[in-house]
Chain A
Amino acid sequence: MVNVPKTYRAFCKKCGKHQPHKVTQYKKGKDSLHAQEKRCYDREQSGYGGQTKSIFWKMAKTTKKIVLRLGCVEPNCISMRMLAIERCKHFELG
């Protein structure tokens, strides 16, 4: 269970100092058709117990790394940056 506050102070590259940042979760945009066909290259996907006649190969990992978008709250600064945190099954903001 990972809980992250909705705002917190972090270093803003543009301002050059710590500023409050708004935190949102990064969601991938709609997959392009090409990305959807991306294979999982885990070798375990082939062989006894592996995938057969499946067009969309699935990721072997059961969790994804959570990516946070930190947006600087300073009115003239609109810099955003991404911050990845460890894998977890449940993630909450606030």
Chain B
Amino acid sequence: MATQAKRRRVAGPAGAGDPDPDPVAGFLSWCRRVGLELSPKVAVSRQGTVAGYGMVAQESVQPGELLFAVPRAALLSQHTCSISGLLERERGALQSQSGWVPLLLALLHELQAPASPWSPYFALWPELGRLEHPMFWPEEQRRQLLQGTGVPEAVEKDLANIRSEYYSIVLPFMEAHPDLFSPRVRSLELYHQLVALVMAYSFQEPLEEEEDEKEPNSPLMVPAADILNHLANHNANLEYSPNCLRMVATQPIPKGHEIFNTYGQMANWQLIHMYGFVEPYPDNTDDTADIQMVTVREAALQGTKVEAEKLLLYERWEFLCKLEMVGEEGAFVIGRKEVLTEEELTATLKVLCMPAEEFREFKDQDGWADDKKEEDSLTITNIPKLKASWRQLLRNSVLLTLQTYATDLKADQDLLSNKEVYAKLSWREQQALQVRYGQKMILHQLLELTN
């Protein structure tokens, strides 16, 4: 039931003393003007939603029903904005690792344009000064609350990239075109906020199967579609057609229930990093915990005694790198029902645990002697049936990973189970607790399966 699945409601931005006419009415009127048709069965609302604005079903909806269609001309991207020509001409200068600079410049321009075609759309945006992403938390708080989850490291990387791209590409570009970017948008702080907004609200059109090899599409803003909140157990999704983007129901939606899109199969750590929210335990069925690949190597190293064994281990590791199964930066991803990086982890356990002579032979044949056996599958039903050596290595890797957190499972469990204590935690503390707890539960499940 949707009520069960609801996330705790976030306290939305206050009115800020600004007696604006209802921005929703203005937005809906804009929708009509640009040909964005909303089914009468849906309503934009701040009531009955898990956070901020959301869309609620006014009448029951069947799977397959069209909720609304967004014409491609109404999208806001580097190709549809008022300075699209300039951005296209200057494409080379705006190249960067992220690929987000042209869109961000489009947003910076439209935000300061006196009569932007998208002004009524901007009116529904969250208050940029109140975004919940960990990138806005003080660094100390981030480390203290999210240690071991992977989020602090990811945020540090983002902050460095944002700063670097702003000073080397964005600011020079804005200063070169001062008539298009008024001084009030030439701000690193605003740039940070827009990056967070793009993380949380933008969409990326999936590539076709055959276009696998191309660069991923740039992000773009889809008015109306970005109003929908996310749940793992979602009931709508976005379909891309040549002329428009269609939000279609994927489950029956009873009257009064919120309509939820899916942002992808997201773990809580990814949700908090990119979107600033989490799903409380046990709602996020897509939650995962990572085991760093080098941690497995470390666990294997612990099992070696003499130098010769250590050297052999490094040889095995080199071989796995060559097969592109592992890397210094990568992680094995453990879900609730199975290991998601099955191929990589199976190969790693196999190569690290096989007897030395077998490894020699395996290496010579370049790893293609065997066909993949069924018993090597890494689902929760199958893990207890793996070879003892594999289970032991897996177990030790989990134990090492659990040590990277600041607290153990019990500490988090105590906070979570005590409703009074939980309620007294700040919003950030609650979110961070959910991220840590979900990961530790997955890791502990793996411990039990490898016992």
Contacts and interface: CB of A to CB of B under 8 A. Distances in A.
Interface in B141-170: 150, 154-155, 157-158, 161-162
B340 A48 contact: no
Interface stretch (B53-61, B259-267, B416-424): B259-267
A50 to B, nearest CB: 8
Given A37-B265, A39-B264, A53-B263, 8 more contacts: A41-B333, A41-B341, A43-B331, A46-B274, A48-B199, A49-B96, A52-B274, A81-B368
B403 interface: no
A63 B154 CA distance: 26
A55 B262 contact: yes
Nearest to A46: B270
A58 interface: yes
B413 interface: no
Nearest to B367: A84
B368 A52 contact: no
A43 B238 CA distance: 25
Contacts of B74: none
Interface string A49-66: 111111111110111010
Chain B contact surface mostly: loop
Interface stretch (B108-116, B202-210, B276-284, B391-399): B202-210
Interface-central residue, A31, A43, A57, A62, by most chain B CB under 10 Å: A43
B318 interface: no
Contacts of B100: 48-49
A82 interface: yes
A43 B329 contact: yes
A6 B22 CA distance: 70
Interface in A46-94: 46-59, 61-63, 65, 81-84
Interface of B: 96-100, 150, 154-155, 157-158, 161-162, 195, 198-200, 202-207, 209, 212-213, 216, 219, 237-238, 261-265, 270, 273-274, 324, 329-331, 333, 340-341, 366-368, 371
B154 A47 contact: yes
A58 B158 CA distance: 20
B350 to A, nearest CB: 16
Nearest to B217: A54
Contacts of B158: 47-48
A58 B216 contact: yes
Contact of B331 (A41, A61, A81): A41
A11 to B, nearest CB: 10
B331 A47 contact: no
Contacts of A56: 206-207
A50 B262 CA distance: 17
Nearest to A36: B209
20 contacts: A38-B340, A39-B333, A41-B341, A43-B150, A43-B154, A43-B330, A47-B155, A47-B158, A48-B162, A48-B199, A49-B96, A49-B98, A49-B161, A51-B216, A52-B204, A53-B264, A58-B212, A58-B216, A83-B368, A84-B368
Residue in A31, A46, A47 with the greatest tally of chain B CB atoms within 10 Å = A47
A56 B162 CA distance: 26
B212 A59 contact: yes
Contact of A84 (B199, B265, B366): B366
Contacts of B212: 58-59
B204 A39 contact: no
Contacts of B261: 53
